[in-house]
Structure formats: C-alpha cells, structure tokens
C-alpha cells in the first residue's frame, strides 16, 4: 500500500463534493442542469511489456457530466418568461455586433430600452430568432417592433339582415333621414378613409310600392354618412335596390360594386371626407344572406374591411415560438419567432457560466429549428423551467462522498502507521 491510492481517493471525493455543492447551490437557479462526477481507476504500466500492475494506483476524475433532463415548469407573471418543455436550447448572442452564438435553457427574458429581448441573468444576452414573417436564414436578435399599423381604407361593407315582409310602404314618399315615416328600418356601421378617420354610415330600408319584377318585393336602400344623405341632402338617392322572391330569398342586389362612388366621396362635400384623406376606391355593399320573412327586422351580421391605425397594445409568445402582436384596432401581426437549437451530444457543450454554453466539436453541429417540430420541444410563455437538482438525492450523495473522504483518509493513516512500525525496527 502506498499513499498514492489514498491521496487520489481524497482528491476524487473532494471533487465529488465540489460537484454536489455546486448542484445544491444552484437548486433554485432557473434552467440549471445538475452534474455528476464520474471516476475511473488507474493502473501503472509494467516494464518489458509484461502488462499492467494488478494493483491499482488509485482513482481519477474521468468526467463531470451534466444531466440534461427536464426540470419542472413553473408559471410566472412575466409575459416574456419562456420555458422549454422538451429538447432544445435558446440561441443567444452577447451583443448586437458579436454574433457568436451561446446556448441556454434559462428563459427569464425582458425587453431592453431599444425593444430587444434579452436575458439579464445571462450577461444580458440577446435572444435570437427570425424577425417579422421571415421563415429562413440566419437567426438575428429579436426586437419587438412597436410601430403603428397604418390605416386601411374601407372598400367593402357586408351586411346580413332580415327585412320584415309584414311592413307596409312608408306614408311619406320622399326619403328623409330626419323623418321616420319615410323609411321602414335602419341600421349602421363604421367605415374608414385612407388616414383612418371613421365615418358613421347609416343605412335605411324603404319598401317600394311597385317591384321591378312581378311577384317580387323590392326595397330601396338609402344611406347617410355622418348624418349627410348620400350623395347629398339635396338629392338623396338609393345606393342599391334589394329584390326578394315570394320565398323571401334575395334575387337581385346581393352585391353592388359601386354603392359609394369614390369620386363623390372625395368631392369635398361637407361632412364627408376629412382634410388630407381620400377614399382610394369605390365602396361596395354586399347583402349576401339577407332575407325577407314574416319576422321582425333584425341585423344578423355587419362588417367592413377598413381599419383605423393600430397601436401595439400587447404581444404573446405561442408554443411554436411565434410572437404575435395585438393592436388597438383589433389587428394581429407576427413580430417574429423564437428558434431552438439542439445538439447530437449536449454533454459536449462547454459551460460558460451564467447558465450559458458554447458549442464544441464534441457536441456536434448545432441543429436550428422551430419549436413543436421534429425533435424540438414546446415553448410555454409566462413560465420558467426550474433547476433539475433533486435536493434529497444530493444530500444523500453528500453523505456518501463524506464517508468516502473519511475512508480514504483512513488508508493514509494506516499507511502512516505501517511506515512508523517499519522505521521502529531495530
């Protein structure tokens, strides 16, 4: 027996305690992966090619291997917190100019002053992915675009309703929006010009005495825009005529492509187009699905394709990594997509500290992809992945490592006693 075995055992047990201590210290570190010291025995080669000595010379630390197993997922109140449930790493870079990639599982992200998504606990690393609706190419730092969505001018108004067949022709023959005796029913919708200014369009339905086709029932449709009759208060005219068969089905007038003329709307008639704005095209009206039955007048659905300017009000991250922005005008827009990276051998990654790793040749080539596809996991927003350290296991391992350390110190003590006995011989 020599001191070599005991000394190597002490060094191995000390290394094991270091690893266990590091695991315990990071039991609350988001995205941390526990490690384990792996050991190998050592033998000295004999001379004259006679093989190895049958008695070992101790132990060596062969490797410190991390366990890339899934940690528990805990929900949070931060919309930018992201947990990976499954395989993959977030891809990050240290700065906007340094594109050297780093990888990690800590999804505690936030926005910096310029709108970039960063992880302050990981040296302020920038999260990378695809911007906007891009679906290929090299990942770039993700930035939340807070610019407004421009207005969209209305080009079509779609209305579906039921007209009451029991109603009689109005007692006042000339349509007047101020006189309810000149029309039977009315409903309204909002439309928009090129700058997003809104206009209240009120439509009025007037049952006609004589239909264009015998057996049908005709209704004239009039309109006002911000209280002004179209095309003018002096000469209101129907924007379309709806004709129904004796079964209540709409036969003509379902779609009128030029119900509102852009030329008339843009003619600076008071109450119509606002300064600096235009209606770039004629506005169609679509009454598909409208019926005439012996039931009370009832709007069923009413939509139009224009939009006011939109201000980004919130954004969310889906399980597939898509970042969707929600705007004040009801629109949604894809702002980017978070990407994941995986490796054939994650244990080949080199730890950098701050829960970050860098790729090495042992890890293999980085495989970049979108969450939920192939071998990549699912993202969960407003959540983080906890450390996968099992404190109970680590405390038991600590006791074992302590006993191993004591046992190896005992071999040194015994060797010292043997040498003392040898020295004492006379």
Mark whether 290 and 411 lie in a shared domain: no
- Look up the pTM and report it: 0.79
Instruction: Identify the bridge partners of residue 59 per DSSP, sorted by sequence position.
Output: 41
User: CA angle, corner 95, sides to 93 and 97, nearest 5?
Assistant: 105
User: Which pLDDT belongs to residue 409?
Assistant: 84
Burial 375-409 (b: 16+ CB within 10 A, else e): ebbbbbbebbbbbbbeeeebeebbeebeebbeebe
Is 244 inside any structural domain? yes
Mean of the per-residue pLDDT values of the chain: 91
> Could you tell me the pLDDT band of residue 267, with boundaries at 50, 70 and 90?
confident
Q: Would you call 71 helix, strand, or coil by DSSP?
A: coil
Per residue in 100-138, pLDDT (tens digit) is 999 999 999 999 999 999 998 877 899 999 999 999 999
Mark whether 65 and 176 lie in a shared domain: no
> Could you tell me the pLDDT band of residue 53, with boundaries at 50, 70 and 90?
low
Is 151 inside any structural domain? no
User: Which pLDDT belongs to residue 51?
Assistant: 58
**DSSP for 349-380?**
PEEEETTEEE--TTT---EEE-TTSTT--EEE
Q: Where is average pLDDT lowest: 110-114, 120-124, 181-185, 193-197? A: 120-124
DSSP 420: H
**Res. 374: pLDDT tops 70:** yes
Mark whether 167 and 287 lie in a shared domain: yes
E strands, 82-123, are 82-85, 89-93, 101-104, 110-111, 117-119
Is 169 inside any structural domain? yes
Higher pLDDT, 99 or 119: 119
* Distance from the Cα of residue 260 to its chain's centroid: 40
Q: Would you call 135 helix, strand, or coil by DSSP?
A: coil
Residues 73 and 85 sit within 8 Å (Cβ to Cβ): yes
Final residue before a domain boundary, out of 249, 276, 304 = 304
CB atoms under 10 Å from CB of 208, counted, come to: 17
Mark whether 332 and 366 lie in a shared domain: yes
User: Which pLDDT belongs to residue 388?
Assistant: 95
User: 335 lies in which domain range?
Assistant: 73-146+312-385
Cα-Cα-Cα-Cα dihedral sign, residues 258, 263, 268, 269: negative
User: Which pLDDT belongs to residue 269?
Assistant: 56
Cα-Cα-Cα-Cα dihedral sign, residues 265, 267, 272, 277: positive
Query: Across residues 291-299, what is the average pLDDT?
Result: 96
Mark whether 369 and 230 lie in a shared domain: no
Is 219 inside any structural domain? yes
Is 84 inside any structural domain? yes
Q: E strand or H helix at 408, and its extent?
A: helix 391-423
Residue (of 425, 419, 398) closest to 21 by Cα position: 398
Mark whether 229 and 294 lie in a shared domain: yes
> Could you tell me the pLDDT band of residue 422, with boundaries at 50, 70 and 90?
confident
Share above pLDDT 90 across residues of the chain, in percent, rounded to a whole number:
74
Mark whether 224 and 355 lie in a shared domain: no
* Distance from the Cα of residue 343 to its chain's centroid: 24
Q: Where is average pLDDT lowest: 94-98, 268-272, 300-304? A: 268-272
Domain count across the chain: 3
Burial of 164 (0-12, 13-18, 19+ CB in 10 A): middle
User: Which pLDDT belongs to residue 98?
Assistant: 86
Distant-in-sequence, close-in-space partners of 315: CB < 8 Å, separation ≥ 6: 79, 144, 323, 324, 325, 326, 335
**Res. 286: pLDDT tops 70:** yes
Per residue in 200-228, pLDDT (tens digit) is 999 999 999 999 999 999 999 999 999 99
Rg (CA), the chain: 38
Q: Would you call 100 helix, strand, or coil by DSSP?
A: coil
**Res. 48: pLDDT tops 60:** no
User: Which pLDDT belongs to residue 50?
Assistant: 57
> Could you tell me the pLDDT band of residue 414, with boundaries at 50, 70 and 90?
confident
CA atoms of 351 and 124, how far apart (whole Å): 17
User: Which pLDDT belongs to residue 268?
Assistant: 62
User: CA angle, corner 369, sides to 363 and 371, nearest 5?
Assistant: 110
Q: Where is average pLDDT lowest: 240-244, 267-271, 412-416? A: 267-271
Which of 64-73, 119-128, 267-276 is predicted most confidently?
64-73
**Res. 297: pLDDT tops 90:** yes
Residue (of 203, 202, 206, 205) closest to 171 by Cα position: 206
Residues 175 and 236 sit within 8 Å (Cβ to Cβ): yes
CA atoms of 146 and 314, how far apart (whole Å): 10
Mark whether 230 and 249 lie in a shared domain: yes
> Could you tell me the pLDDT band of residue 76, with boundaries at 50, 70 and 90?
very high
> Could you tell me the pLDDT band of residue 262, with boundaries at 50, 70 and 90?
very high
Mark whether 233 and 178 lie in a shared domain: yes
Q: Which CATH number goes with the domain that contains 248?
A: 2.60.98.20
User: Which pLDDT belongs to residue 139?
Assistant: 95
Is 172 inside any structural domain? yes
Mark whether 207 and 252 lie in a shared domain: yes
Per residue in 9-18, pLDDT (tens digit) is 888 888 999 9
Mark whether 217 and 255 lie in a shared domain: yes
Is 341 inside any structural domain? yes
Is 100 inside any structural domain? yes
CA atoms of 44 and 46, how far apart (whole Å): 6
User: Which pLDDT belongs to residue 369?
Assistant: 95
CA atoms of 395 and 418, how far apart (whole Å): 35
Mark whether 192 and 88 lie in a shared domain: no
Query: Across residues 141-161, what is the average pLDDT?
Result: 95
């Amino acid at each position: 027996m020599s001191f070599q075995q005991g000394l190597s055992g002490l060094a191995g047990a000390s290394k094991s305690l270091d690893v266990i201590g590091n695991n315990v210290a990071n039991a609350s570190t988001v995205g941390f992966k526990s490690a384990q010291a792996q050991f190998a025995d050592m033998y000295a080669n004999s001379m004259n090619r006679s093989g190895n000595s049958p008695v070992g010379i101790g132990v060596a630390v062969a490797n410190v291997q991390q366990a890339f197993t899934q940690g528990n997922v805990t929900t949070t109140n931060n919309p930018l917190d992201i947990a990976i449930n499954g395989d993959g790493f977030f891809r990050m870079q240290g700065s906007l100019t340094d594109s050297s990639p780093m990888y990690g599982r800590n999804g505690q992200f936030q926005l910096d002053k310029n709108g970039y998504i960063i992880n302050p606990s990981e040296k302020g690393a920038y999260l990378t992915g695809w911007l906007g609706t891009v679906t290929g190419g090299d990942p770039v730092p993700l930035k939340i675009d807070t610019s407004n969505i421009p207005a969209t001018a209305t080009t079509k108004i779609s209305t579906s309703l039921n007209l009451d067949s029991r109603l009689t022709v109005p007692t006042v023959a000339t349509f007047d929006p101020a006189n309810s005796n000149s029309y039977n029913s009315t409903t309204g919708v909002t439309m928009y010009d090129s700058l997003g200014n809104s206009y209240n369009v009120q439509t009025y339905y007037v049952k006609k005495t004589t239909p264009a086709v015998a057996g049908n029932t005709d209704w004239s449709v009039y309109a006002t825009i911000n209280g002004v009759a179209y095309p003018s208060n002096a000469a209101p005219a129907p924007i379309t005529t709806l004709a129904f068969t004796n079964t209540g089905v709409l036969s003509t007038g379902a779609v009128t492509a030029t119900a509102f003329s852009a030329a008339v709307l843009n003619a600076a008639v008071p109450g119509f187009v606002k300064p600096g704005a235009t209606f770039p095209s004629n506005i169609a009206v679509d009454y598909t699905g409208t019926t005439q039955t012996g039931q009370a007048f009832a709007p069923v659905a009413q939509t139009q394709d224009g939009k006011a300017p939109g201000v980004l009000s919130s954004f969310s991250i889906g399980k597939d990594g898509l970042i969707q922005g929600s705007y004040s005008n009801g629109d949604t827009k894809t702002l980017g997509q978070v990407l994941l990276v995986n490796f054939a051998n994650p244990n080949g990654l080199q730890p950098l500290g701050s829960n970050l790793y860098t790729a090495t040749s042992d890890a293999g080539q980085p495989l970049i992809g979108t969450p939920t596809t192939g071998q990549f996991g699912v993202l969960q927003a407003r959540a983080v992945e906890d450390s996968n350290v099992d404190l109970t296991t680590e405390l038991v391992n600590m006791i074992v490592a302590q006993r191993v350390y004591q046992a190896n110190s005992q071999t040194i003590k015994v060797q010292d006693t043997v040498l003392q006995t040898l020295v004492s011989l006379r």
